[in-house]
Amino acid sequence: MITTQPLYYPDNVMNLIVSNIDNTRDLLSLSRVTKYTNYYANKKLFRHVLLSSEQILLKTIGFDDYLQSVTILPLNKLNQFVSALSQNITLISFVQKVFVGAGINNLEGITLLANLLMDFKVKNQSVPLLGLKEFKFLNQCSSTTFISLNKELMSIKSGTTSPRYHMLYENDEDEINRYNGHNYDENVFALNAYQIRSLHELSYLPLETEGLSVNVKRQYESSNVSLTENLHQIFSKLRSLELATSESATLFFNCDFSRSVVFENLTRISLNLNNLNLIDAISSCIQFQNLECFELKFKQPTIQEWDCEINLTLIDFFHLNFSKLRKLSLIHLNSNNLLNNSSVLNQYSFKESNLSFCLLNNFSAFNNDQCSIKYLNISMNNFSLLPPISKEFKYSKTHFIVDNYYLRSKLNLFSKLLTMSSLETLIIPDYFFNWKPFIKLQSNGELLQNDKVETTNYLFENCSCTDCHHSRTLIQSYTANFKFTEDKLSSVYNFVVGMLFKRLPTFEQSSGLDTLKYPFHNSVEISNYGYLNIDLSSLVRLMLDNMVDDLKFFVAHFSFLKSLCLGGILIDVSKSENLIKLSAVYDSWECKL
């Protein structure tokens, strides 16, 4: 007998079912079945929300089963979203994290959303697990933070807009009681994570703070911040710390409080350094042996011979102290092209005084017997331009000159990455201009140097299928439209590689530990050219068809690999007993091995 009555499962069963649905389309379908399924589907749909301009986000094409950690809310739907929340308090309770993407300028709408979420938080203090836990602005250049919104809203709620600098959690019962007629304690808006734009905002943090992002851009800001009892407790319980700029790191670790506290529960840290002399101050308060996620972003505009000793000392420190590391991000924020004969860094390319080389050459420091790295994001060249290359020195005025020593050295450094056998996620943002032109990956797992450095035509010419033929006709039209000259395919390669690199978040403004956490940018629409009417994905598919050997190489070397990102092309790796399926998440391409 077939029943028409809806089936009801225990909470743990429904939560398990919904936890295995990771795309918005299926969750929306489930939410429309019954009121019962609507509750569980919405609980996940509203949990993590990314507010973004729809035009700058790449969509997953044809692979709707790919994991999405956030629900994308287009900016033009913000008012509708706020209205839905205001009419259904249950939906408000589901919202745990809100991320405001780059390019969002609707501060009024964002303020309304924040106000709504904070009102719920205030009125449900007795149930701290419900409601908002994090409100983050992904654009690190933005002067707006949740704390600044909070202070503004407190002024409005209390009936005064001045002074605008008053404490976030004032011990002022008269003012607090004026806030909607409720009695609130001093930790009114206790979230899990905060962003601050000044060290003086540390005094606003509640005791419940678990994550902190410091983004100070004023180099000469006063670092005279006293270590209060509250701040000492916060630091001792802090689990995640991000120093988004080098100025932030310098100020933070030069403060007196950094010499009087130990971040004993810290498991995640992101450092942005242009001075390795800070390592002593950092190591005195950070217990590196407890870190599970570590990021080092660094700048090295000049190189001196004595940098060799400093770099090797840092490597020894990493080797001795990392024991629980699972996620690693290493990013060189160089502002000049390293592939330049006159570049200072190029003259020290393969010397230990060059921090980039030193980190790669001693990669075993991160891959000892105790560490099992699952996630690696590594970018040693942040300048996405591949100049003309030659092995003939007579072309040194017009080409980047490489010799066999250079090629062997690049080969040796890349082989160091292959020692991380436990990797599940591998991200190489600079793959197409820092590695691919100099190495050759074989489908049988063999790694060779690329002796044909003068051309990149092999990524456009080898495959003769119908789709690739169509893509090559597009190249001809783009060559005319964009007036590419000289070696046309090399110009196209440079153009495509640059556009792909722009898909990724800017590492000056974001952490490489979060590279795959949010959807990639549509670089075709946000480039300096304005809107480009090109089919970038078609060119990507052409490149992928011609680099299947590269993909086979990575799959062969990393048996646990699930996600592979090469220069802005994201590949989902799905394995069954007899089949390996590779899917380009944003480019509607797949290959079965």
- Is 517 among the domain residues? no
The distance of Cα 183 from the centroid of its chain, to the nearest Å, equals 40
* pLDDT score of 68: 59
**Cα separation values, 190 from 49, 97, 168, 207, 387, Å:** 19, 13, 11, 8, 51
Tell me, what's the pLDDT at 303? 82
In 3D, which of 164, 162, 191, 158 has the Cα closest to residue 176?
A: 158
The pLDDT tens digits for 238-295 are 999 999 988 899 989 988 787 888 899 999 999 999 888 888 889 999 999 999 999 9
CA 119 to chain centre: 30
Q: What is the mean pLDDT of residues 67-95?
A: 85
For residue 146, being part of any structural domain is answered with yes
Instruction: Give the mean model confidence (pLDDT) for residues 358-367.
Output: 90
Contact 190/208 with Cβ under 8 angstroms? yes
Domain contains 104: yes
Cα-atom radius of gyration of the chain, to the nearest Å?
26
Q: Which of 152-156, 376-380, 504-508, 536-540 has the largest mean confidence? A: 376-380
- Evaluate the CA torsion angle 424, 427, 431, 432 in order and state its sign: positive
Which ranges of 20-168 does DSSP label H, i.e. alpha helix?
Answer: 24-31, 35-45, 78-87, 89-94, 107-123, 146-157
pLDDT value of position 268 = 97
* Better-predicted residue by pLDDT, 57 or 306: 306
Is residue 9 a part of any domain in this protein?
no
473, pLDDT greater than 80: no
Check residue 223 and give its pLDDT: 61
Question: Among residues 447, 472, 463, which one has the least CA distance to residue 552?
Answer: 447
pLDDT of 573 over the 90 cut: yes
* Residue 336 structure tokens: 């000049």
189 pLDDT above the threshold of 80:
no
Question: Tens digits of per-residue pLDDT, 521-546?
Answer: 877 665 555 556 677 888 888 889 88
Q: Is residue 435 part of a domain?
A: no
Higher pLDDT, 339 or 186: 339
Residue matched to tokens 């509750």: 39
Higher pLDDT, 378 or 147: 378
Instruction: Determine, yes or no, domain membership for 55.
Output: yes
Query: Is the pLDDT confidence value at 359 over 60?
Result: yes
Rounded distance between C-alpha atoms, residue 43 and residue 351, angstroms:
53
pLDDT reported for residue 397: 85
Joined together, the tokens standing for residue 347 give 């003259």
Q: Side chain identity at 508, as an amino acid letter?
A: E
User: What is the pLDDT at residue 219?
Assistant: 61
Reported as a pLDDT band with limits 50, 70 and 90, residue 64 is very low
Average pLDDT score, the chain: 81
Averaged pLDDT, 493-520: 87
Residue 486 predicted with pLDDT over 70: no
Q: Given this model, what pLDDT does residue 291 score?
A: 95
Kindly state whether residue 180 falls inside one of the protein's structural domains: yes
Query: Which pLDDT does position 7 carry in this prediction?
Result: 59
* Residues 6+ positions from 36 with CB-CB distance below 8 Å: 6, 8
Distance, CA of 304 to CA of 278 (rounded, Å): 17
DSSP per residue, 511-522: -GGGTTTSPPB-
Taking residues 214-226, report their average pLDDT. 73
- Residue span of the structural domain in which 104 resides: 46-187
Number of domains the chain is built from = 1
Give domain status of residue 178, yes or no.
yes
β-bridge partners, 564: 426, 571
Query: Does the pLDDT value for residue 387 go beyond 80?
Result: yes
Q: What is the pLDDT of residues 413-453, one digit of tens each?
A: 999 999 898 999 999 999 999 999 999 998 888 899 988 88
